[in-house]
Amino acid sequence: MTRQSQRKKRLPILIVALGVGVLLIASGMATFTSQEKAVAIAVASTETAMAPTATATMTVTPSLTPTITLTPTNTPTGTLPPTFTPTLTFTPSPTPVPPKPPKPSSEGYATPVETPPTAIPTPVQPVPVPDGVVNVMLLGSDRREGSGGYRTDTIVIVSINRKAGTVNMLSLPRDLYVYIPGWTMNRINTADGRGASVGWQGGGPGLLKDTLLYNFGITVHYYARVEFDNFKEIVDILGGIDVPVDCALQGFALKAPRKERSDFSNYDDWVAYTAEETNWAPYTMPVGVQHLDGYMALWYARLRTGIEPGKSYTDYDRARRQQQVLRAILNQSKSLGLITRIPELWTQYNDLVETDMGLGNMLQLAPIAADIDSSKINSYILTPDLLTAWTVPTDGSAVSLPNPGAVEQLVTIAMQPPPENYLVANTVKVEVRNGAQTERLDEVAADRIMREGGMLVVPTGFADAKNYPETVIYDFTGRRKTNQLLRLQHLLHVADKQVIVQPDPNRAFDYVIILGADYQNRTCTYNVPIPVEPTTPTPEAAAEP
């Protein structure tokens, strides 16, 4: 049987697997009463019990969860991000401390069985879970054939609020150094494998759920896991995905035509192929909307090279790109009409994605998943300003310690629905026109504004010319400088002199942006301050005699 025929045979399974991931990422709106009635029987018979806490559960997961990331700054979409000014009260100890119960035994946390290399922090109070909110843990695993141990390469917590109509994605760096209940202090990406190896209740995902609850107060109701080879196959069956690349990336990639695991009769030959240096070559992915197949989508999501060539941003920039990939998969699946096929293909769902969600749970989320507004999908990331870099004295590995207070504040925001005034304030409409040379640059900028600004954005192609030297923002609102305008200036690095105010009560858009060469030449402007023009100081009044 040819590889193409094999893929056709697996198409229904892949669609279901994809659908699971899409629903977990995108289905954040309430279902209508008529729709709820239509699936009531299926829900009653196949819905799994929703866990009141993030305790063990048998597991499985859907998403590539490379998916995709925000920028190296934690920016809740919509308004300017809050300023975190944490007080660092947790000082890592350079010497081992004797194991101690992290929480009174009556509260249910297991004590460590190995001496930790630093003090164990006290458990975080659980973040309240509002009515109608479901938290799903999406995991990307590097588990390979014939390999006993594995680590969780990607962790994204998706908080779906069906009442508020929003979805929040929170990415956690894999090198977070946390307490893993019943074991010791270690990287968070080892919790899954540890749970599987010791027979933890709920397996690996069960221990990871407990780890998230202990260290961050996050209650996880369900999990979903996908291995990387399955992710590549899903993207290929979709026909590839379009990803707006705003930072050129450099790294090594397998030379084309690339072989895949299915091209080899045994695993050892596949390992030898990927280990051979002559099969690899330097590759640069340029700025612009790039159509990626499964291999390149995974490459883009997993590459650890940061914004500048040769400069590593570890997991922070990767988290931003992983969330981009998740959004791209959502967009492609919606365009193909795949979400509505989940119920009919449920019986064929099997080995590609693990999840402890039942069909009833998915049907509750499915009805309007295809219509969700991308601006209602908010992105959050634990960034370096919320963490403390530390070297583990026992093995010299570089890890990140959460800053108490700062991390808890961001997690609370990410796990809660936005207030009503936030939703109303972020219903502005923005048009983006491309006044530079790079094809589809308007789509690249629109994606960033939507991901980090939470606004309704429409890219409309090239402007009247392709030689605008500077990016210009037209403000048609007639209001004093709003949070949305400030956010646009911050994201695109536009100075006040490049903002043109033209109040128009009959406007089709609140703001119109024309991208210039300055944006084309520096799209990688995360954490770059907005340019400020020099001002003439106001003379002080003369002192009274």
Domains of the chain: 3-230+316-420 (3.40.630.190), 235-308 (no CATH), 427-520 (3.30.70.2390)
Task: Tell me whether residue 251 is exposed, middle or buried, using C-beta atoms within 10 angstroms of its C-beta: 0 to 12, 13 to 18, 19 or more.
Answer: middle
Rounded CA gap, 182 and 20, in Å? Answer: 31
Given a cut of 70, the residues of the chain with pLDDT beneath it are: 1-108, 142-150, 305-314, 338-352, 359, 361-373, 418-426, 525-545
Task: Give the pLDDT confidence of 367-413 residue by residue, as tens digits.
Answer: 545 556 677 788 888 888 899 999 999 989 899 999 988 999 999 98
Do the beta carbons of residue 214 and residue 49 sit within 8 Å? no
Q: What distance lies between CA 332 and its chain's CA centroid? A: 17
Residue with token string 């397998």: 254
What pLDDT is attached to residue 405?
Answer: 86
Q: Where do the DSSP E strands lie in 45-194?
A: 133-141, 152-161, 166-172, 177-180, 184-187
Q: Residue 200 contacts by C-beta under 8 Å, 6 or more apart in sequence? A: 56, 182, 194, 206, 207, 210
Residue 230: name the closest of 31, 436, 416, 65 by CA.
65
Residue 227 near residue 196 (C-beta atoms within 8 A): no
The tokens for 377 are 């999908």
Asked if omega into 86 is within 30° of 0 (cis), the reply is no
The conformation of residue 264, written as its DSSP 8-state character, comes to S
Residue 255 burial (CB count, 10 A): 12
DSSP E strand boundaries for 97-195: 133-141, 152-161, 166-172, 177-180, 184-187
Q: Which residues pair with 48 in a beta bridge?
A: none
Tally helices (H) and strands (E) across the chain: 16, 19
Q: Do 359 and 380 contact (CB within 8 A), yes or no?
A: no
pLDDT value for 68: 28
341-345: long-range contacts at Cβ-Cβ below 8 A with a sequence spacing of 24 or more? Answer: 341/15, 341/16, 341/19, 342/15, 342/16, 342/19, 342/20, 342/23, 342/366, 343/42, 345/12, 345/13, 345/15, 345/16, 345/19
- pLDDT value of position 234: 77
Polymer length in residues for the chain: 545
pLDDT for residue 343: 59
Q: Label residue 424 exposed, middle or buried (CB < 10 Å: 0-12, 13-18, 19+).
A: exposed
Can you tell me the distance from the alpha carbon of 169 to that of 270, in angstroms, rounded to the nearest whole number? 34
pTM of the model: 0.72
Closest C-alpha among 418, 379, 325, 450 to residue 22: 325
List, in sequence order, every residue forming a beta bridge with 307; answer none if it has no partner. Answer: none
